Structure formats: C-alpha cells, structure tokens
Structure 1
Amino acid sequence: MVLKVFVIAVLVAVTVADTIPYTPPRPSYNAPAPTGPAQYNFDWSVNDANSGNDYGHNEGRNGYDTQGSYYVQLPDGRLQRVTYTVNGDSGYVAQVEYEGEAQYSAYQPAPSYQPAPTYRPAPTYTPTPSYN
C-alpha cells in the first residue's frame, strides 16, 4: 500500500514538473558596448631555414575598410602571395600572385623489395673435447 502511494506521488510530481516551462539562467555579465568603429593592425611571420617554413600575414582595419596580405613558401619552391581587401558590403576581394618558378626533383623510383636476411645467432660457447 505504501509503495502504491509512493509511485502515485512520484508520477504526480513528474507530471507537474513537466508542465512548468524551463527558463535558462541569465548570464551574470554584460557585453561591453562598442566605443567606435573597429581599428587594428597586426603583422607576423615565420622564416625557419632548417625546416624550409616561410610564411606570414599582415592586416589592418579601420571601420569597414580591411586590407591585408599573406604569403607562404610552396613545396615546389614558389612563393604564393595573396593581397586582399574587404570594404563594407563588397565582400572579400583577393589578388593571388606567384614569385619564382616551380621546381620538381627528378623521379627516383623506389628500390625493389629485398627480403630481410635470415637471422642466425652466433654460438655462445666453444665446445672443448672431454678426452685426453
């Protein structure tokens, strides 16, 4: 009898809880209000002779006018440089240029398969005669 009352109470509680709408908690912070049009400049680059990495990026923005460029050393030896602008609603407009000429190494066929040599352990002792 007590179990039936408990089960009915749980079912009533679930039904009541299911009808209450969920309201997510509000954040306790306010986003800062913009103080004016966006303005920034940045520039970075990597040039590592040991690995051959050579790339970089620079960009400047003043309000809705954004201009920048980036470059990368391609595996074929050319330098790819992209210069771009973004002006308001005109979208991203890029100009791509390549410096140098593509260089490819001569074809080197892989060596044919050679099975590994058979393992033969060296003897660990030298037998001596037991007779005189």
Structure 2
Amino acid sequence: MPYIFGYAVTDSESSSNFDHHESSDAQVITGSYRVALPDGRTQIVTYTADDINGYVADVKYEGEAQYPEHRKSH
C-alpha cells in the first residue's frame, strides 16, 4: 500500500534536533533521516528497501566532531 509520512523535532532546551521522511509506492520504500549527534556532527541516512535488495543505506556526516577537554574533578 503506498504511503508518505514525515516528522521533525527541534527543541533547544533538550538539544533535540532530528527528522525522518519516508514514502512507498508499494514496491520500494525510500526515506531519509537526520539526527544531531552529541559530538556536534549531523548524521544523515538515506535509504531504500525492497524485496529484492533488502535495506540499503547511505550514511553521511556533516560537520566536524568536537570533544570538550576533560577536566578531573578534585
């Protein structure tokens, strides 16, 4: 059965920032999602899924990972 759906969440208080969009023509599912990672990068996954190829994902990252300096507590 064909369908289309999507959602997005952006909440600065919790630092949540992600979205997901997907559609199907009843043969192939196509979609993508993105999520802000704790290290400052954004992970972007684009995918297709069908009965022949299964789930096939392309994963990319935007930005550069940032790691704060660790300080020992006294």
| Category of TM-score, reference length = shorter chain | over 0.9
Aligned to 2:37: 74
Structure 1 runs of 4+ aligned residues shifted over 6 Å read none
- TM-score normalised to structure 2 length: 0.94
- TM-score normalised to structure 1 length: 0.54
Aligned equivalents of 1:110, 1:51: Cα separation in 2: 25
Aligned equivalents of 1:88, 1:60: Cα separation in 2: 15
Aligned to 1:41: 4
Aligned equivalents of 1:63, 1:107: Cα separation in 2: 50
Instruction: Report the secondary structure of 1:76's partner residue.
Output: coil
Aligned to 2:61: 98
Greater share of residues in helix: 1
| Equivalent of residue 16 in structure 2, options 39, 49, 53 | 53
Q: Deviations over 1:35-81 (max 9, x none)?
A: xxx10000101110121110111100011111001111110000001
Greater share of residues in strand: 2
Higher relative contact order, structure no. (Cα contacts within 8 Å, ≥ 6 residues apart):
2
Q: How does 1:1-132 map to 2 (within 5 A)?
A: 38-111=1-74
Q: Aligned residues, how many? A: 74
Aligned equivalents of 2:44, 2:32: Cα separation in 1: 7
Structure 1 or 2, whichever has the larger Rg, is: 1
Unaligned runs of 5+ in 1: 1-37, 112-132
